[in-house]
Amino acid sequence: MAWDHIDEKKVKTLIKQLSGTMTAKDGEPIPYCIIKGRGQIWCYQISSKTFIMIPRGTRMYVIDWGDDNDTQCLAYSNDKMAFTIDKDEIEEIGFD
């Protein structure tokens, strides 16, 4: 599974959303998600090409859900990390 073609518009929307400069013409905001459960989870970090430990309950945004047959998706956390995570570990919580 590779994310060679990430939706550029969605990434730009997320950047504007996080920086507080999003306008109505930028489209829908990306909803918050959290990692289900308690404790820690190991996820693959894209930039360092290593596994990192992330606390469950961490707030994040899903950048790319992938195909229907993919078991993992690409996410971005409030700690400024891009990583892959199993789809069944994610709970969408919406907006604050």
| Per-residue exposure over 40-60, b if at least 16 CB sit within 10 Å of its own CB, e if not | ebebeebeeeeeeebeeebeb
Measure the CA–CA gap between 62 and 74, rounded to whole angstroms: 6
Which residues neighbour 74 within 8 Å (Cβ) at sequence distance 6 or greater? 3, 6, 46, 62, 63, 64, 66, 82, 83, 84
Predicted pLDDT at 64 = 87
Domains of the chain, earliest start first = 30-94 (2.30.30)
pLDDT band at residue 75 under the 50/70/90 scheme: very high
pLDDT digits over 39-55, tens only? 999 999 988 999 999 99
**Contact call for residues 83 and 3 (beta carbons, < 8 A):** no
pLDDT digits over 13-36, tens only? 888 988 889 888 888 888 999 999
Alpha helices in 1-96 (DSSP H): 8-19
